Structure formats: structure tokens, C-alpha cells
Chain A
């Protein structure tokens, strides 16, 4: 039975090896994040903590780099000595799992605990994970988070355990976890659509971060649906899927879209829009 699986999926496997990524997608969930609108308020990160039962590890462990923030707002400053516009301050970049089409985390897991779903997501099967942590080592974005400790009792002491989202599990120590594009919400929306015998409507649901963003910097949707907001945003900035498309064209300042580490051919699902500085206009 199992050998049959391997043989039947062999052609898919070849396609995957040659082109990168899974090819018979039902949906392709993607994002467009406008850094020009992002204020770095961390609402997305907080919403993620609430939605996805992320452990609050405490200051000490966080400083050690053992935090569990699936979505982190990275801050960058211009070099103090050379910066031309000190008034610019920090630059923000919300960084979460980019749900790569040709994800580097997937082939290295020894037990196939991370795999590519027909929705174009990199799913992490917590129950299958044995904690070799190779996936995060091979992730250029370093957006996978490992349960270095058991957080259940320290993070949600009673009655805080009542706040846990019942739609997904709490992960125990020794398991890798990461942003899922709120897969529990995707499941609910897909199930509902199937029951009502229709397609998933764009904007029917949002990820927690997109929902919480006060400035609407995060747009979430399905790029298989050409009418969706995110497809339009991608098209507007001339960013196409596929591993071999490269960074944004330099000549047109209107085209602000780019994908981080696109030059590594990982085909990320998140398009960022470059920030426009008043001083540059």
C-alpha cells in the first residue's frame, strides 16, 4: 500500500524536483504587505499570539532568543555614521513564514513533518515532528520556532488557559512550530464553502494579523483567484509566482513590490511593498 503511494506520486515528485513546489494547487494563499503603511505597532504579532496559542516565554528566555513569536516585527536602522536622514528612525518589517513555493525547510525534515499542502502552504505536523530542528537551520528567513521548554504551565497559568483558542493545539516541548497563515481559519472557510457548494469568497476570512492591522498594511488572499485583492496587488507590482522570477525592476518607482530572498529561488508567498520616504520623493 505504501509502496503504491510512492509509485503513484512519483510523477508529482519529479515535477516538484524540477520546478520546485507542488503543482496541482486548489488555492494559493498569499500576502501583500505594504511597508509604507506599516507603523510597526506590533498589533499583528499580538493578534497572532492570541489566535495561535503562542507561548509567552518571559523576558529572560526571550532575550536568549527562545521567543515564540510566529510573526515578528523586525526593526532596522540606518547606519548611525552614514545615515542621511536621522529623522527617519527605525524601519519595520513584519516577518512571518513566507510559505515558500519551493520551501527549503521541506526536503530536509527526516520524518516529513513539514510538507507542502495543496493550498501552497508549508504545513507543520506537530505530532510527527521529532525536533531535529534541521528545518529552521535551512530556512533563510529563520521564521520557525522551537519549543525549547514546556510552556503550558508557565505561559497560561489558570485561569489564563481559558483564553486558549480551541481550534488548534498547544504544542509541547521538543516540537517545531511556525506561522500557518491561520490554517484553522482557512479550514473553516473551505468547509463552509464546500457545504454551501460555492467557492471561497475573497475577504470571507482573514488571518489574525491582517484582521488586526490598524492601517491595513497586510492584505491576505488567494492568488489562484484573479479577482482577489492580493492577486490584484501582485499584478499591479508585476510580481509573479514561480521560483525563477527575480527582484523588482529598478527603473520604475511605481513598482514597489519585491519578495525577500527571491534570489535564493525559494518562491516566497509574501510580497512586500517598499517604503517610500518623503525625503526621496
Chain B
């Protein structure tokens, strides 16, 4: 930890009672925009329900699929949602282990996002099955007929990986909320008090409980990180284990994991802006935190773009005619508009995040994050569809644009995710109270230390050497330390 004022993520003088009050208030009277969002999500979800009922009754033909195009948007959406879940783990587990303090006010909703996007993703392999009612055959249950799933199939690995990841991340979410549940149990009435009472698991906040809690939390974090990496690697092997041009790519596992973190961080940015506005969380979800999230996203965008380039280059310099032809067709063929949308959204747009003024401007970042997600969605679709359109056998080449049933279900999945998420943030604290308290205490100690060192003449603040922020230029370095922007809200 450096003592740079850049690490001052929120006002260290927030009173603990104030934190409790603010968070409990956020769960009671959100802005009107919250209720509008809920209504929109419900109606989107309703569209998907209708489409799914129709598809279930009539067969997969309603989704417009045909012989070469056996998979389409459903699988792309599946990969998209799985990917989104990864950033939650990044924030809650990886940054926990490396002691990044700024994650504390925002990791709770990111963790919730992980769980709910997994719940959404899990629907897609099911929805796209021809005989959904036999879904359980993918699981290795003991049957007296001695029939097992095919352990060589990446789809059956998916079933194991996703169910493990889902249960682990849900458990992580619930465990992380225990101290907050206890606070809420003591400060609410009615059904809320009962629910929180159960979830607090008898938390009294004594020494032993805190010690065990910390250990458990750290253990779960360590358990979750390899799981997150493996899940998306396994999802990528749905493609890379196949023989098709454009799918049979060795670099897919790291490429998918990078893409997952990328789209997930973009989703965190979107939700950050929304929650900050809905629940008037300006004191907790500060601009400094947003800036750090954005920088992280920018770095990940760099990694992802590098891996994308590696993929293209290895096809270009490889000797497979099928792959090369497919790559050229992606950039120039019928799917070219989608391809260039992807390149624009996920390679060009991220450069807006290189400018500090834009990073600290919430509406811009909201729009940028939506662009990034659009880019990542089209990227997933560009993996699934063009390969099927132009595989080995030229007789079976076909261009397919998804009909309305697919769109409705994909659209509705956003509604379902949004609904779960919005209900969660209303019922449970979207800001982790105990960790914010920890953070204020930590910061106070740090600043106290810094002040003492400065008085003793032992401390040279980093900002004395670093270039000053806009508006700070005229100040002396010492003043820059005290009067940092970022806490002003808005």
C-alpha cells in the first residue's frame, strides 16, 4: 500500500452510524428510476417467457436454426453471461487477496452480479437443448442401467464447471454478508429482521467469530480464483476442442478468460453508475473508485486486444486454408458489419478510458461501458456464427440472421438478470458496510501516520513528483495532498 492520496477512495470521516444509516436507507427508498428499471426488466423477461413457451411447444425450428447453424445466439449469449460473472470474482476474490482497498465499497454488487449472471448463463445451454426435459442426463448420477454421461465431451465438463462455480460464488456471496446481516437484523423490523436474522447465522461480532470469518473468507477467495479461470477455459473448450475452422484455436482459454474479465469489468462500470444514481450512493461509490475500475478495465482491454491479435496472426501465418478463408470472410463477407462493430466497440472505444476527464464523467463512462459490452457480445457471436456459416463442407455454407424468437429470449435474459440484480440490491446491502467501516478506519490511520511523518519531515508525498491533476496545477504539492478532488459527489 502506498500512501498516495490516490488511495483515498472515500471520506475517512464518515461515521459508522452514518454508514449504517445510509446503507439501510438505500434499501428503502430508491429513486424513481429504480422502479422504472424493474418494470422494464419484468416486461423484457415476460417476452422471453412467451418465446420460450412457443419454442418448447413447437421445437427448435422456431429459433430459425438449420443444418449448418445448429448453434447461434443462444450459445453466444451463454458465453457472454459466463464471461460477465468473472469480473465479480476478480473484484471480490483476486483484489481481496492482493489487499486492494478500493474494492471494498463496490465488491458486494459485483459478487452479486457474478452469481446472477451465472444463473442467467445456466439457462442458455438448457434452452437450446432439443429435449430439455432430459437435461439431467448430462449429470453423472448413479443409474441402475449403468449409463454415464460422456466424460470426453466439453459440454459435460461445462455442466460440472458451471454448477461448481455457481454454488461456490453464491456461498462466497452469502458468507461475505454475515456481519452486515447482523447489523441489519438489529436495525430493521418485520420480515426483514427475520430474514436477516436467519442469514446472520447468530453473528455477535465477538473475537472468535471475526477470526473464523476472516479465515473462511480468505479460504473461499483462494478457492474461487482457480475456479473462475477454469470455468471460462472449459467454456472455451466447447469451441477449441472441436475440429471447425475458427473454433479449433489453442489460445482460446486465455483469450476467453481475458474477454470474460473485459466484459465483466464493463458490466461493473454500468452497474456502478446505475447504483450510484438509484440509491444516492455518491459518498460510497466515489469517482476515485470509478477511476480505478476504469483503469483496470483499460488494462484488461489491452490484454484482450493483444490476444485477439494473436489469434488473427496465428491464422494468417498458419497453413490452414479453411481458417484463413474464414478469417477473410469474417472481415469482408456477409458478417463483416458485425465484425467491424466488434472491432470498433472493443478496440477503439476503450481509448476513451485513457483520459482522466472522461474517466471521471459518469454519463460518458455509462455509455462507454455499454459500448464495451456490445463489443464483447458481438465478439462472442462472431466466434459462434461465422464458423458455422463457413465450415469445411462448402455445400453447407449458409448465412443465418436470427429470427425474433432468438432475439426475444436473448433480450429477456437481460431482463431476468436485471430483475434478480435489482431485487438483490433492494433486499440486501449493495455496499458492504463492515468493509467500508474497515476502510475508513484504515484510511484514518494511514492519514494520521502520514501527517505525523510529514510533521517530522520524513515524508515526501508521491504527488510532489507526480504530475498534478487538472485544477491542481497552481497549488503547492503539500496542498494537493490535503485537498484532493474526488469526494465532491455528483
Q: Footprint of B on A, CB under 8 Å?
A: 1-2, 5-6, 61, 64-67, 72, 74, 76, 93, 95, 104, 107-112, 128-134, 136-138, 140-142, 145-150, 173-176, 261, 264, 266
Contacts and interface: CB of A to CB of B under 8 A. Distances in A.
Contact of A111 (B58, B150, B392, B396): B150
Given A2-B146, A112-B148, A133-B130, A138 B243 contact: yes
Interface string B104-140: 0000000000000000000001001111101101100
A66 B65 CA distance: 8
A261 B394 CA distance: 12
Interface residues of B, number: 48
A110 B59 contact: no
B30 interface: no
B148 A136 contact: no
A140 B243 contact: yes
Contacts of A1: 146
Nearest to B158: A110
B59 A2 contact: no
A131 B74 CA distance: 14
Interface of B: 58-61, 64-71, 125, 128-132, 134-135, 137-138, 142-143, 146-150, 152-156, 159, 238, 241-244, 388, 391-393, 395-396, 398, 400
Contact of A145 (B67, B137, B147, B400): B67
B68 A2 contact: no
B130 A108 contact: no
Contact of A174 (B129, B138, B159): B129
A177 to B, nearest CB: 11
B3 to A, nearest CB: 54
B131 A174 contact: yes
A142 B148 CA distance: 26
A136 B59 contact: no
A216 to B, nearest CB: 24
B67 A128 contact: no
Given A130-B135, A142-B392, A174-B132, 14 more contacts: A2-B147, A65-B66, A66-B65, A109-B153, A129-B130, A130-B134, A132-B155, A133-B65, A142-B396, A146-B60, A148-B59, A149-B58, A149-B59, A175-B131
Contacts of A112: 147-150, 153
20 contacts: A2-B143, A65-B400, A93-B395, A104-B242, A109-B150, A111-B134, A111-B137, A130-B132, A131-B131, A132-B129, A132-B155, A133-B65, A133-B70, A133-B128, A134-B155, A134-B238, A138-B244, A147-B59, A148-B60, A173-B58
Contact of A147 (B130, B142, B396, B400): B130
Contact of B138 (A72, A110, A147): A110
Contacts of A95: 393, 395
A108 B138 CA distance: 12
A141 B388 CA distance: 12
B64 A64 contact: yes
B405 to A, nearest CB: 12
Contacts of A131: 60, 129-131
A72 to B, nearest CB: 8
Contacts, number: 155
A148 B65 contact: yes
Given A111-B138, A112-B150, A137 B71 contact: yes
B391 A110 contact: no
A74 B58 CA distance: 30
A173 B135 contact: no
Contact of A150 (B59, B128, B137, B138): B59
Given A107-B153, A110-B150, A142-B396, A65 B69 contact: yes
Given A132-B125, A138-B244, A65 B398 contact: yes
B130 A175 contact: yes
Interface majority SS (helix, strand, loop, mixed), chain B? loop
B148 A2 contact: yes
Given A140-B391, A173-B59, A130 B130 contact: yes
Nearest to A115: B150
Contact of B130 (A5, A141, A142, A146): A146
B70 A264 contact: no
A145 B68 CA distance: 10
Contacts of A134: 70, 153, 155, 238, 242
Contacts of B396: 142
A173 B153 CA distance: 23
Given A138-B244, A174-B59, A5 B146 contact: yes
Contacts of B61: 61, 64, 66, 148-149, 173
Contacts of A137: 70-71, 242, 244, 388
Among B241, B244, B391, B395, the most chain A Cβ lie within 10 Å of the Cβ of B395
Given A138-B243, A264-B392, A110 B135 contact: no
Contacts of A67: 67
Nearest to A72: B395
Nearest to A104: B243
A65 B67 contact: yes
A110 B153 contact: yes
A6 to B, nearest CB: 8
Nearest to A75: B395
A130 B137 contact: yes
Contacts of B58: 149-150, 173
B240 to A, nearest CB: 12
A173 B393 contact: no
A103 to B, nearest CB: 10
B391 A108 contact: no
Contacts of B138: 110-111, 130
B242 A142 contact: no
Contacts of B143: 2
A107 B150 CA distance: 7
A249 to B, nearest CB: 21
A258 to B, nearest CB: 15
Given A108-B154, A111-B138, A138 B242 contact: yes
B68 A108 contact: no
B137 A174 contact: no
B135 to A, nearest CB: 7
Contacts of A104: 242-243
